[in-house]
Amino acid sequence: MTKVAARTWTEIKPARKAVIPEGLWLRCPGCSQMVYRKQMESNLHCCPECQHHFRVGAAERIRQLADEGSFEPLFTNLSPTDPLKFKDVKTYQDRLVAEQAKSREADACKAGTCFIKGRPALVCVLDLSFMMGSMGSVVGEIVTRSIEAATERDLPLVIVSGSGGARMQEAGLSLMQMAKSSAALARFDEAGGLFISVLTDPTTGGVTASFAMLGDVILAEPKALIGFAGPRVIQQTIRQELPEGFQRSEYLLEAGMIDRVVARPQLRSEIARLIDYTGKA
């Protein structure tokens, strides 16, 4: 296993250029203030003024969660193929090449073992910066192998989701990843494993409708969009204004769908505390 834990990940491109343009300063979508990029980045990618949570890539997320130098990557030898020879206005093959060149990653998921405040854990993070964190065969396989590894090694499992859902370009095979990962969680559950599911902005579609909503404990970052259908689809269906704050973390908390809304600076200690309470340390 190669040790790459000490790498820095500032080269990771953010998910949306519109939100984080290149340059030293950027406008915060939360408070509309101009904020100094370096300051935002050193604040766990949160706005120093209003604590707006900017989207972060998988590598940065792992850097934030894991004790320094403790992350050991797993399943880095999997890469996507184009089983359906899918073509829309572009071929899937071309999209993959472009996404891989842009992100320097094989696909939208990173996993490995690490320590979180001294507690060993298996972490698996979906990466929004790669095809909107969508789940095709590779993401489904890494998530499933992570669950299986956590089962075998009796490790607490933390999956951080951020995803547009199942990847259309792998169609039916993407759909099957939902069943595959959920079935693996049944076994993890039977083995008495602890699965902490962390939902970030946005988590929708087939990811929400499979492993992401199956956490023994479900945490969500503030104001994250979380749902099955996207708000636009719902609006087109019901032709009504959507309620204030609809499908945001706080709304889900009120609806009884998640356990806690946790701000990014507290995430590590909240996870550590849950590991302790369940006796999984």
Partner 1 sequence: MAAFYQLEFEKPILEIEREIETLEARLAGREPADAAPDAQPLSPDQALRRVETLRAQREQTLRDVYTRLTAWETVRVARHPKRPQTRDYIELMCKDFCELHGDRRFGDDPAMVCGFGRIGPHRCLLVGHQKGRTTQEKLACHFGCAHPEGYRKALLKMQLAEKYRVPIVTFVDTPGAYPGVGAEQRGQAEAIAVNLREMSRLHTPIVSIVIGEGGSGGALGIAVADRVAMLTHAWYSVISPEGCAAILWKQANEQTNTAAAKALKLTARDNLELGIIDDVIEEPIGGAHRDPAGAARNLESWIISALADLKQQDPASLVERRYQRFRRLGQYIETAPPVETLG
Q: Does 20 bind Zn ion (CB under 5 A)?
A: no
Q: Does 260 bind partner 1 (CB under 8 A)?
A: no
Query: Contact 221/243 with Cβ under 8 angstroms?
Result: no
Task: Give the CA count within 13 Å in the CB-facing half-sphere of 50.
Answer: 14
Q: Does 84 bind Zn ion (CB under 5 A)?
A: no
Query: Which one, 86 or 281, has the nearer CB to partner 1?
Result: 86
Q: Tokens 């492993």 correspond to what residue?
A: 211
Please list every residue from 225 through 244 that binds partner 1, using CB under 8 A: 227-229, 233-234, 237-238, 240, 242-243
Please state whether beta strands 157-163 and 34-36 pair in parallel, antiparallel, or not at all (unpaired): unpaired
Size of the site for partner 1 (CB under 8 A): 66
Please list every residue from 8 through 67 that binds partner 1, using CB under 8 A: none
Q: Does 257 bind partner 1 (CB under 8 A)?
A: yes
Query: Which one, 33 or 278, has the nearer CB to Zn ion?
Result: 33
Spell out, one character per residue from 187 to 206, where the chain touches partner 1: x when CB under 8 A holds, - when not.
x-xx--------------xx
Q: Distance between CA atoms of 197 and 274, rounded to whole angstroms?
A: 12
Please state whether beta strands 72-74 and 109-116 pair in parallel, antiparallel, or not at all (unpaired): antiparallel
Q: Distance between CA atoms of 221 and 219, rounded to whole angstroms?
A: 7
Question: From Zn ion, partner 1, none, which one binds at residue 49 (CB under 5 to 8 Å depending on kind)?
Answer: Zn ion
Encode 239-272: b = buried (16+ Cβ within 10 Å), e = exposed.
eeeeeeeebbbebbeeeebbbebbebeebbebbb
Which stretches of the chain bind partner 1, using CB under 8 A?
Answer: 1-2, 76-81, 83-84, 86-89, 136-138, 140-141, 144, 166-168, 170-180, 182-187, 189-190, 205-206, 208-214, 227-229, 233-234, 237-238, 240, 242-243, 246-247, 255-257
